[in-house]
Amino acid sequence: MLIKMQGDGFNNLFSSEITSQTVYEKRRALIKLMATGVAGAALASWAARDAMAQVPRPGKLAALPGAKTSVAGATTLEKLTDYKDASTYNNFYEFGTDKSDPAKNAHTLKTTAWTVEVEGLVKKPARYTLEDLLKLSPMEERIYRLRCVEGWSMVIPWVGYSMSELIKKVEPLGSAKYVEFVSLADPKTMPFVGSRVLDWPYVEGLRLDEAMHPLALLGFGMYGEVLPNQSGAPVRMVVPWKYGFKSGKSIVKIRFTDRLPATAWNKAAAQEYGFYSNVNPEVDHPRWSQASERRIGEDGLFAKKRKTLMFNGYEAQVGQLYAGMDLKRNF
């Protein structure tokens, strides 16, 4: 099901305005399956997706909600990042620290019989199967920018629904202030778990009001297909106004708490990676500027860097969450 979001800072894109997607390299189309209400078929597609590598894909994407910049009233209709680039240039340290490592190594990840445990300060703690999660709310396809702290960015059509749908289902207690997202940490299937780069498992977190914001997406796919392993299969967060590392991948546990979560990169280098990590061109990383970014796929000799947008261009939608805060101190 495709839902066109009105009045939230998005423009509608026609298929003729979107980068052509001549071949999707693997993975069955999750949206098509969900449109028929067959969540079980979606699960089967995860098990059989490698066998479906030659299934023909549409030449262009259908009309989708578009991304809009929110700077000085300017509006830009942006091209999608090519699927090949988006699926081969990744940060997923459980599979290696080089950007090409996840695509090479993540084939070992097992996504069958996946469950996500919801615990902590909620009235209805539960263990959800992937099928449970797929049936919880109608799927949406949204085009979001992804901006990484290293200075590169992409534009990706994600498939999922607002995290708030799950939050409302489990009914947080009044004492719940934060949401923790815990990723899988399986040394048998994730070859770099156990390395000293980070403290495993990978943990990320949001304030409860951030997690409840409609733009915070619980993602199951991209480009109309289930997530590739290297992109965080089978379920991940997508928080478009924050740096990419805030969007936890391959989630196995969601915990509601009254304490600020001890997140992976904040524990590793608190002076470099704050808890909020909102995209902010005025707050530089200690080792490089955040004022500009390199859009993946625009690497030509004369390609210019883009100016980084406050909150990654979503200031009109999320700026009120941080009213009165010192965003340089609370980075």
Q: Give the model's confidence band at 298: pLDDT under 50 very low, under 70 low, under 90 confident, else very high.
A: confident
Supply the pLDDT for residue 301: 63
Burial of 135 (0-12, 13-18, 19+ CB in 10 A): middle
Q: Which ranges of the chain does DSSP label H, i.e. alpha helix? A: 30-35, 39-48, 83-86, 101-105, 130-136, 163-170, 208-212, 264-268, 315-318
pLDDT tens digits, one per residue of 158-201:
989 999 999 999 999 999 999 999 999 999 999 999 899 999 99
The backbone torsions φ and ψ at residue 295, rounded to the nearest 5 degrees and listed phi first, read -80, 120
Q: Give the model's confidence band at 323: pLDDT under 50 very low, under 70 low, under 90 confident, else very high.
A: very high
Does 16 score more than 80 pLDDT?
no
Domains parsed from the chain with CATH numbers: 11-322 (3.90.420.10)
pLDDT over 90 percentage in the chain: 67
Q: Average pLDDT of the chain?
A: 81
Supply the pLDDT for residue 139: 85
Does 278 score more than 60 pLDDT?
yes
Does 141 score more than 50 pLDDT?
yes
How many other CB atoms are there within 10 angstroms of residue 76's CB atom? 14
User: From CA 2, how far away is CA 98, in angstroms rounded?
Assistant: 35
Supply the pLDDT for residue 77: 66
pLDDT tens digits, one per residue of 37-89:
444 444 444 443 333 333 333 223 232 233 332 222 223 368 899 999 999 99
Supply the pLDDT for residue 78: 85
Supply the pLDDT for residue 304: 84
Read off the tokens for 2.
């495709």
pLDDT over 70 percentage in the chain: 76
Q: Give the model's confidence band at 107: pLDDT under 50 very low, under 70 low, under 90 confident, else very high.
A: very high
Q: What is the mean pLDDT of residues 288-298?
A: 93
pLDDT tens digits, one per residue of 195-254:
999 999 999 999 999 999 999 999 998 888 889 999 999 999 999 999 999 999 999 999
User: From CA 247, how far away is CA 167, in angstroms rounded?
Assistant: 16
